[in-house]
Amino acid sequence: MLVKRIIPCLDIKDGRTVKGVNFVGLKDAGDPVELAKRYSDEGADELVFLDITATKEKRRTLIDMVENVAKAINIPFTVGGGISSIEDVKLLLRAGADKVSVNSSAVRRPELINELSSIFGNQCIVLAVDAKQINGYWKVHLVGGRQKTNIDLFEWVKEGVARGAGEILFTSMNHDGTKDGYANRALMKMSKLVNVPIIASGGAGKKKDFLDAFRLGNADAALAASVFHFKEIEIFKLKLYLRRRNISVRF
Give the CATH number for residue 80.
Answer: 3.20.20.70
Closest alpha carbon to 178 in 203, 149, 207, 157 = 203
User: What pLDDT, on a 0 to 100 scale, did the predictor assign at position 11?
Assistant: 85
Q: Please report whether residue 19 resides in a domain.
A: yes
Q: Is 14 a catalytic residue?
A: no
Identify the weakest region by mean pLDDT among 13-17, 120-124, 160-164, 219-223.
13-17
Q: Please report whether residue 250 resides in a domain.
A: no
Does pLDDT of 59 surpass 60? no
User: What pLDDT, on a 0 to 100 scale, did the predictor assign at position 23?
Assistant: 46
User: What pLDDT, on a 0 to 100 scale, did the predictor assign at position 83?
Assistant: 92
Write down the mean pLDDT value for the chain.
91
Per-residue pLDDT band for 143 (boundaries 50, 70, 90) equals: confident
Q: Please report whether residue 189 resides in a domain.
A: yes
Tens-digit pLDDT profile for residues 224-237: 998 998 899 999 99
Q: Please report whether residue 249 resides in a domain.
A: no
Per the confidence metrics, is the pTM higher than 0.95?
Answer: no
Residue of 51, 88, 130, 212 marked active site: 130
> CB burial class (10 A; 0-12, 13-18, 19+) of residue 244?
exposed
* Amino acid present at 222: A
Q: Is 180 a catalytic residue?
A: no
Question: What separation, in Å, do the N-terminal and C-terminal C-alpha atoms of the chain show?
Answer: 15
User: What pLDDT, on a 0 to 100 scale, did the predictor assign at position 207?
Assistant: 98
Instruction: Identify whether the C-beta of residue 6 lies closer than 8 Å to the C-beta of residue 247.
Output: no
Query: Who contacts 22 (Cβ-Cβ below 8 Å, separation ≥6)?
Result: 173, 174, 176, 177, 178
Tens-digit pLDDT profile for residues 155-178: 999 999 999 999 999 999 999 888
Residue of 11, 51, 209, 220 marked active site: 11
Alpha helices in the chain (DSSP H): 32-42, 63-72, 86-95, 104-108, 111-120, 153-163, 184-193, 207-215, 226-229, 235-244
Domain count for the chain, please give it. Answer: 1
Mean pLDDT of 37-44: 96
Write out 1-55 in H/E/C secondary structure: CCCEEEEEEEEEECCEEEEEECCEEEEEEECHHHHHHHHHHHCCCCEEEEECCCC
Q: Please report whether residue 251 resides in a domain.
A: no
Q: Please report whether residue 9 resides in a domain.
A: yes
- Show the domain range for 48: 5-244
Q: Please report whether residue 134 resides in a domain.
A: yes
Overall residue count recorded for the chain in this entry: 251
* Amino acid present at 91: L
Q: Please report whether residue 68 resides in a domain.
A: yes
